[in-house]
Structure 1
Amino acid sequence: MEGGISHPIPRTVEEVFNDFKGRRGGLIKALTIDVEKFSEKCDPEKENLCVVGLPNETWEVNVPVEEVPPELPEPALGINFARDGMEEKDWLSLVAVHSDSWLLSVAFYFGARFGFGKSERKRLFQMINELPTVFEVVTGSVELAEATPHNNSSKSKPSAKMSRQPEPQHRGVKMSPSKEEEENGEEEEGREEEEEHGATLCGACGDNYANDEFWICCDICERWFHGKCVKITAAKAEHIKYYRCPGCSSKRPRV
């Protein structure tokens, strides 16, 4: 099923990461570009089926392997049984979640098999963690074009999490600033916020950004909103991993 015999076995951190990227690319293609073809192959009338990403950025739907234990960790089985029992977007999202889990298990299987130490495992995870997950791509949390790592061709907008509220400049063990320094710091911070957002308009009310107002960006459409316009406070935003504005919430799947 896997076809892994024809692919070189990765033995170093870089090789395992490249194997991960290839398999991930194949799964993303199946769940975004080749959705119709993928759905056709997941016939509920067949036995347990699973989707596998291959190192050459292709994918296949097949039955489980016969040998026990298998050469590689098994993907989620029975994905075809739920195909017609769920909304397509929810089904694809669920397959994406299990695909992410499988990708990690394969990568760290190779790490365990070839004796990766603590520093090597940490480096591998950090490299993997720089990439958006399959689930994030499939559900639209990130654009497909942005799923390629290390794309620094243009200056990206700060994430909504970082830009929701200016952080104080003096924290932890640093000594508290004098009143004059604090005032100067606030003025500088205000100028930076204004430069960062420029003439950005609120996606709800259409008014300009003001540095004394709480401001939040939708992680899907990347429009900015006054917190009061979308009923989000700074405290609440701290617990939101991905913010979806009201318009995008009605369009995107949730699992």
Structure 2
Amino acid sequence: MDSALPLSSAESSSSTQQASQPLHGQQDTAAPMEVEVTLTPAPAAAAAPVPAAAISRPRYCGTVERTFRQFTYRRVALIRAVTQDEKVLFRKCNPRMEPLCLYGNTNGSWEVLPPKLFAPSGQPEPKLGINLVREKMRRLNWLQYISGHSDAWLIRISFFHAADLEARERQRLFSMISMLPIVQETFITSETYRRIRDQENMIDESKDEDEGCGSYPTVCARCGDRYHANGFWVRCTLCKCWSHGKCVKVKFFQEEVIRNFECPECCAEKRGYD
């Protein structure tokens, strides 16, 4: 068996070059080699630490002018509710419904609704249950009651949204709000207030006249003031005239004195005859 003879270095180089060259009529189809280059990014600069106060409380993006504008729209809406729209407000506040609140919106409208379930945490709510006290108060007192609580709510919700303002900005906001008349003051000086007041006074006078007919006089025999249903009066057993209890120094719990009461004029005449 013939053993393979080792090739010389020249023959080995010649055979390597011949193997690397393509044959005649044959193209080199080998794809070029791709080199993958990985770039390492430079280390980012360390971020500045965030204060704990900024993380715990979300910032309200508001300004003094924006907060005051919202206050103005809410105020106008609430004033209209207790003046021009007082009949609509009275009708919407049904005592048989669940407790309701009067809201003044930032678009100048008002609405009577139950407390909002999805209001932001900590946001002040208007007075609850204004419909439940409607039948327990006169209309004039009821509207004045609502306007007073509306003023308190306007201040609370305005400074709730101004919590992120600086002290100087909050002071300027308070000065701008203080320049406007409050809701209750505007209601008392309105034509609606005077109209309802006159109507209630006329009703009171007619009741006084009805109650003063027959056995009830229209005036006190001592001071001459008109009779009022809520006052304490006593009647003389002799002349049948009525007087204020305070005018004749008689208390409402003195039953025996009231039952046998004689007015000072009758007592003087009686002593004169005796």
Report the TM-score, using the length of structure 2 for normalisation: 0.46
Larger-gyration structure (1/2):
2
**Larger RCO, structure (CA 8 Å, separation 6 or more):** 1
Report the TM-score, using the length of structure 1 for normalisation: 0.49
